[in-house]
Structure 1
Amino acid sequence: MKTMRWSRISPQAALIPAVAVTLVAFVGSILWTLYLSFTRSRRLPEYDIDWSEWGRQYDRLFKDAGWEISLRNLIILGLGSALAIVFGFILAAMIDKEKRGESLFRTVFLYPLAVSLIVTGAAWRWILNPTLGAQAFLRGLGWEVDFNWLAQPDTAMYAIILASVWQSAGFYMALMLAGLKGINSEIWSAAKLDGVPLWRLYLEIVIPMMKFTFITCAILLSLGVIKAYDVVVAMTNGGPGQSTWVPAYFTINALSAKSNLGYASAAAVMMLIITLIVFLPLVALTAWQQRKGAPR
């Protein structure tokens, strides 16, 4: 009996260290950051709250032009990075239809994922360098082109999107390919016998059947976009001016350059709220779809 009882308790006991670390390092950090956002902490934390101006840091944040720019760039980056899912699906569909060389193409398209975003940003910064990269090469061939995107505030964010899509499209391709492999082969045979056009088959049958895969990709994409920082630092370091600031860059800049811990904490709390606003509806949609599709 004792052996049976211990076999039931031991799995729960093994989880205690992991739960403790999660509570302290994750939940505790969130609560500590939230508390500091109501204080006047500068270089070092202060724990006295002036209740007459408890929202002082948030009031400054909402009036800061840099924060407004970072939110606008977050939307632009999110919409642009969604192209990675589109390209990932197209690549997966092409590989799934062409069986020969599938392993080779899958490896080639997945290769950028093995490169960190810092290295990706550095590589694309060199590619877009007007004197060393693609512009110099094409002008050497006699083509008058302008690829100096990183030096122009109006196009710098699009250069970051280009690098991000290149780096992550292979990952979403792998997820989409797994979803396509899960579709019953009889569906493809029946569509071929009925003469259904390929585009209509994908649009009306395949894509709806892969809705969970698309939702998963959207969740992963949204989390990656909200915490985007390293690719921005590697390519533009927030410039020109503040044209490529994003919330994560704004937060780190408030902490390191301005040495304002309370202000950075307020920005971090707003990032958490943005994450919840984006993340929770997608999770709820996934749960609703699963409940809708479950047998009764």
Structure 2
Amino acid sequence: MMLRWSWAAPRLALAPAVVVTLIGFVGSIAWTIYQSFTQSRRFPEYKIDSARWLSQYERLFANETWWTALQNLLILAIGSALAIVFGFILAALIEREKFGEGLFRTVLLYPLAVSLIVTGLVWRWMFNPSLGIEAFLRGHGFENASFNWLAAPQTAMYGIILASIWHGLGFYMALMLAGLKSINTEIWSAARLDGVGVGRLYIEIIIPMMRFTFLTCAILLSLGVVKAYDIVVAMTNGGPGTSTWTPAYFAINAYSTRSNIGFASAAAVIMLLITLAIFLPLVAATAWQARRREAARG
């Protein structure tokens, strides 16, 4: 009886979480996919017209703003990846110097404690020509200084990228620092004895050994980029025009402004497919790296 209870007890404890996950997560995804094939508008419908079951997707890909949102998603992904690059550089500098590590780590991690809404509002103020950096520079003699990126469609997305990098830089630095500390100190000592240069050491030895850390950072970054919404709302609210719309902003706008559940669901399903296309290969690569590491240890 004791053996049976020890087998059943953990499963009973996990049952509520499994039920909530199935209903709240898997169920919501299934409902959204189903609604994307209906003609639902303000209220959901559950009848699928066999002659028009792909009409929401046809409307979606015929919409120029949707293509703008996809383009912005790519720009945001490439730009935000700089947070991983700079995070690694900062981690390497801190790891080498040691002095002030706790202070620098605390200061650089502080932005992570601030929500993306607050981050967006702060950077919106900093880009304000009458209150922010531009006003500061002009007040100190730089009369031609210009830092009003959010006012121009060509530069507004870069302002969002800059704020995103500032917000996530400390987090990726902490992950990279943990990865660097996990490397055996004998490797550093052997490299010094062999006279290996610092640049060659990092490029040929350290970075390949930290592939697992880089993959983890890439997974976390990709998830954050695909669902980017709050920082866009806080900084530009999608403007100027539709120049800073992202897929998440597009989907929520389709539901809240257009009151079109079916159209918004179609956008959400495409977002899910984009996430899977990015997430699954990265997870597979991470699992493969983990198996290689375990095999090497064995």
Could you report, residue by residue, the CA deviation over 1:232-285 in whole angstroms, capped at 9, with x for unpaired residues? Answer: 000000000000000000000000011101000000000000000000111111
**Residue 120 of structure 1 aligns with which residue?**
119
1:8 matched to 2:4? The reply is: no
Q: Distance in 1 between matches of 2:290 and 2:147?
A: 46
**Residue 212 of structure 2 aligns with which residue?**
212
Q: Distance in 1 between matches of 2:10 and 2:235?
A: 47
AA partner of residue 92 (structure 2): A
**Residue 286 of structure 1 aligns with which residue?**
286
1:247 matched to 2:247? The reply is: yes
Q: Compute the displacement of 1:208 (Å).
A: 0.3
Task: Choose 281-290 or 230-239, whichever is displaced more.
Answer: 281-290
Could you report, residue by residue, the CA deviation over 1:130-175 in whole angstroms, capped at 9, with x for unpaired residues? Answer: 1110001101111121111000000000000000000001000010
**Residue 156 of structure 1 aligns with which residue?**
156
Q: Compute the displacement of 1:107 (Å).
A: 0.2
Residues paired across the two proteins, number: 295
**Residue 221 of structure 1 aligns with which residue?**
221
Q: Compute the displacement of 1:7 (Å).
A: 1.5
The TM-score with structure 1 as length reference comes to 0.98
1:97 matched to 2:92? The reply is: no
AA partner of residue 7 (structure 2): R
The TM-score with structure 2 as length reference comes to 0.97
Q: Distance in 2 between matches of 1:30 and 1:141?
A: 54
Q: Distance in 2 between matches of 1:31 and 1:167?
A: 33
AA partner of residue 289 (structure 2): Q
**Residue 139 of structure 1 aligns with which residue?**
138
**Residue 201 of structure 1 aligns with which residue?**
201
AA partner of residue 87 (structure 2): G
Q: Compute the displacement of 1:96 (Å).
A: 0.9
Could you report, residue by residue, the CA deviation over 1:41-91 in whole angstroms, capped at 9, with x for unpaired residues? Answer: 111101111110100000000000010000000000000000000011011
Q: Compute the displacement of 1:289 (Å).
A: 2.4
Map 1:261-272 to 2 at 5 A. 261-272=261-272
Identity %: 69
Map 1:81-92 to 2 at 5 A. 81-92=80-91
Q: Distance in 2 between matches of 1:113 and 1:43?
A: 37
Q: Distance in 2 between matches of 1:288 and 1:178?
A: 20
1:176 matched to 2:176? The reply is: yes
**Residue 260 of structure 1 aligns with which residue?**
260
Task: Choose 94-103 or 28-37, whichever is displaced more.
Answer: 94-103
Q: Distance in 2 between matches of 1:3 and 1:38?
A: 51
For 1:96, what is the secondary structure of its paired residue? Answer: helix
Q: Distance in 2 between matches of 1:180 and 1:269?
A: 38
Task: Choose 3-12 or 63-72, whichever is displaced more.
Answer: 3-12
Q: Distance in 1 between matches of 2:290 and 2:130?
A: 53
Q: Compute the displacement of 1:4 (Å).
A: 2.7
Runs (5+) with no aligned partner, structure 1: none
Q: What do you get for the CA RMSD once the two structures are aligned?
A: 0.9
